[in-house]
Structures are given as C-alpha cells and as structure tokens.
Chain A
C-alpha cells in the first residue's frame, strides 16, 4: 500500500515513518507548516527543515502552509492529503500520534472523508520501550524546544542518547512529565534515522529562551555522508 507520512521533523513522526517503511511503501512525506507558533495540530520549531530531512531520506515532500487557526488547520490538512494523493497516489496516511485522542481523531476524520487508510503505529506505545528502541535503531534525535520546568536552556541542542534518557527517566518520575515529551514538555528534531542515506549536520543555531520556555533555531544545516 502506498502511504504518505504526516511529518513534523520530530522523533514520533520519523519513527512512525520507519515503521511504515518496513511494512508498506512510503511514497512521500507530508508537512503542514503552521505560521502560528501556538498551532493546535502541527508543531513548529524548525519545521522548515523538513525539506532537508526528506532529502536525507530520499523521499519527496508535500508541503502545505497553514495560518494555524484551529478549524482552518483541518482544511489545510485535507489540502495536503489531497495533493499527496494526486501527486504520489497515496492510499493511506501514517501519523506519529502516541496519546493524543484529539490529534488522532482529527486526522482519522479527514482520512475517512478522503477514503484514505489511517495508521498510527505508535498509538499508546510504551514510552520506555519506545525510547529504548529509538536509540537502539540508530535514530539521532536533538531537543530543539523546551516548554516546561525543569527543562532549562541547557537542554536545547542536547542529543537524546543513553545518558540523556537516564536523566529524562529521573525527571519523568520526579516531575510527573512524560518520558517522551508527549505532554509538550519538549520538542525534538531528527538529524539521523536508519532510513536516511545521509545525515543532517547542524552548522549554525540560535537560541531563544526565557523561564523554561525556549527553542533552538537551526539557522544553517546541510547533509553529510554517514
């Protein structure tokens, strides 16, 4: 089955993409770029770098812009899925939804309207097992946004390796946050994945940070051999 992966550049949609590649045919990646930093559906830091990630993966990218207002976003999502169907003949859509009933239900509704299959391979995933698998499989994931205490400026740009995962475990226990950042505590960007032909080298970044709220903007990045 030809599938399009709804794609934000973060670890969940990338991992879902990898699951899909192993079981079906991924024909394209699809991003909805929100101009609203408070987007309900589509996270924003560094989403413009999705094109570079798509190139690293050797997959075409369908990119649609949205003003990022709550109901309009659904129409923009529909537009993106229609474009992916028209250009790449997709029969289904893959998302990285883990726990959000809100996000999963909205995508399911749009897919159903368009007669597309919907796949959420990370649905209700065990967070511990998922994070372990992510590292074991060879994903390189960097934290590019922090949105709650105790994630301070020092977390921006950190790679999620075993040491970071250990720290996240301690934090998850102490602060009642999710290990995966599912509650919006932090955002991630994938610089390497098992299905990437080349990996992303981050060359220049800038930080905007204040009171446990900040983003790492990737100003310049390129592809290098693995």
Chain B
C-alpha cells in the first residue's frame, strides 16, 4: 500500500486536482494500491500499513505545510521508500534539518544527473516541469542526485530510500515514479 500525501492548504482544496489527482491517476494506471491522506490527518495506522509514501507538491503561493514541521517528523523513523515531490521534497529535507534558499523556476528545465542511482540509471539530461519558489540546501545525510542550471533537482538519503524531487515527475516524466515504485518492497497488494 502506497500512502499518497496531500500537502495543499486544506483537505479537499481546489489545488488537490492539480497536485494530487495526477499522481493518483498515475498510480492507478501503474496498478498499485494506495490511500490518500491530507498531511494533517496522517495517522499511526496509515504509517504502519504503508510500504512507501509519496508527498505531493503544492501551488507556488501555498506554504502552509511549512508551518507544521511536527506533522512531518514521522519521516525521520519511517525508513521505507519516500518520494517527496516539489513541496514534498522541501518537507522531506526540512525534517532532516535541511534549509531552503530562494530559487524560482516555472516551466520546463533541463535536469542533469549528477550521481549514479537506480532512479535515474541510463539518463544524463532530461527536460522536466518545474513550479517552485525555493530549492533545498541538501541536508548532511543526503546527496544531490540531479540539478538544473538553477538548483538541485533531486536528492537521496545516504543509506535509506528517501528521495526528493524538485521537478514534477507526474508531468512528462512518469517513468521516474514508475522506477520509484520499482524500489518498493510491497507487503500488501
């Protein structure tokens, strides 16, 4: 079971269709089971039954999730695969003590792979859709996997399968999500 987490400004918001629904449809197409929770309603039971978690992005103006760092502390002990997309990457990095720095990219950007990893194997440069106002300062326990001309676009924990992507893989790079799901050891269908 994949835990798909909505980081938008409220549960059932107008942004949900834009940032959560496309990932939801992708998971359905790939054929994996998932549950959707707003970040404010993720419970112990949800975390326990999840084989992996995907944290979705938010609108550019939407930074409400940054005001609740305590709601992302579970990431420190989750230890199963995590994919943080855009704002989800910022939340993941923040949980591990990573700061942010201003970096606005809106539209397509070339992403260059910097370090070998199963997620990007065989890729050197690919165009990706970006909508972000900030980039992460890579936390000490993470390595940078890919970058655009402007900032780091992908990070991974040094020993755990915790990934952060600044670009939106659900737009034109669905293969990245498929590969991530390939890393998930599923306990349940």
Interface pair B18/A115, CB less than 8 Å apart: no
Write the A120-145 contact mask toward B (1 if CB under 8 angstroms, else 0). Answer: 11111110000000000000000000
Chain A positions 1-40 with a Cβ under 8 Å from a chain B Cβ: 19-20, 23-24
Residues of A within 8 A of B172 (CB): 101
Interface window among B71-79, B102-110, B114-122, B158-166: B102-110
Whether the pair B18, A123 counts as a contact (CB closer than 8 A) is yes
CA distance A123 to B22 in the complex (A): 7
Total residue contacts A-B, CB cutoff 8 A = 63
Which residues of chain A from 102 to 130 have a CB within 8 Å of any chain B CB? Answer: 102, 105-106, 108-109, 111-112, 115-126
Return chain A residues, CB-CB under 8 Å to B12.
23
Whether B44 sits at the interface, judged by CB under 8 Å, is no
Write the chain A residue with the least CB distance to B19: A123
0 or 1 for each of B15-57: is its CB under 8 Å from A? (1 = yes): 1011001100100000000000000000000000000000000
User: Number of contacting residues on B, CB 8 A?
Assistant: 23
Across the interface, which residues of A come within 8 angstroms of B25, CB to CB? Answer: 124, 126
- The CA of A17 and the CA of B104, in the complex, are separated in Å by 28
**Residue A92 CB within 8 A of the other chain:** yes
**Docked pose: A115 CA to B59 CA in angstroms:** 12
CA of A191 to CA of B97, assembled, Å: 54
Known contacts A101-B172, A126-B25; is A23 also within 8 Å of B60 by CB?
no
Contact of B17 among A109, A111, A115, A121 (CB under 8 A): A121
- Cross-chain contact A24 with B17 (CB below 8 angstroms): no
Q: Which of A109, A117, A126 contacts B61 (CB 8 A)?
A: A117
CA distance A68 to B60 in the complex (A): 27
Give bound CA distance, A117 to B133, whole Å: 13
- A23 — nearest CB in chain B belongs to which residue? B14
A interface SS class: mixed
- Write the nearest CB–CB distance from A139 to chain B, whole angstroms: 17
Tell me, yes or no, whether B171 is within 8 Å of chain A by CB: yes
Query: What is the CA–CA distance of A129 and B12 in the complex, to the nearest angstrom?
Result: 19
Instruction: Tell me the A64-99 residues at the B interface (CB within 8 Å).
Output: 92, 94
Whether B6 sits at the interface, judged by CB under 8 Å, is: no
Point out the residues of chain B lying under 8 angstroms from A105, CB to CB: 106-108, 129, 131
Q: CB-CB contacts of B145-159 with A at 8 A, as 1s and 0s?
A: 000000000000000
Which residue of B has the minimal Cβ distance to A123?
B18
Q: In the assembly, what is the distance between CA of A106 and CA of B107, in Å? A: 8
Known A101-B172, A112-B60; contact A119-B15, beta-carbon cutoff 8 A: yes
User: Which 3 pairs show the lowest CB-CB distances between chains A and B?
Assistant: A105-B107, A124-B22, A121-B17
Q: Which residues of B contact A (CB under 8 A)?
A: 12-15, 17-18, 21-22, 25, 59-62, 104, 106-108, 129, 131, 133, 170-172
5 A-B residue pairs with CB within 8 Å: A23-B12, A105-B108, A106-B107, A121-B18, A123-B18
New A-B pairs, 15, CB < 8 Å, besides A109-B106, A112-B60, A117-B60: A24-B14, A92-B61, A101-B171, A105-B131, A108-B60, A108-B106, A112-B106, A112-B133, A116-B61, A118-B61, A119-B18, A120-B18, A121-B18, A123-B22, A124-B22
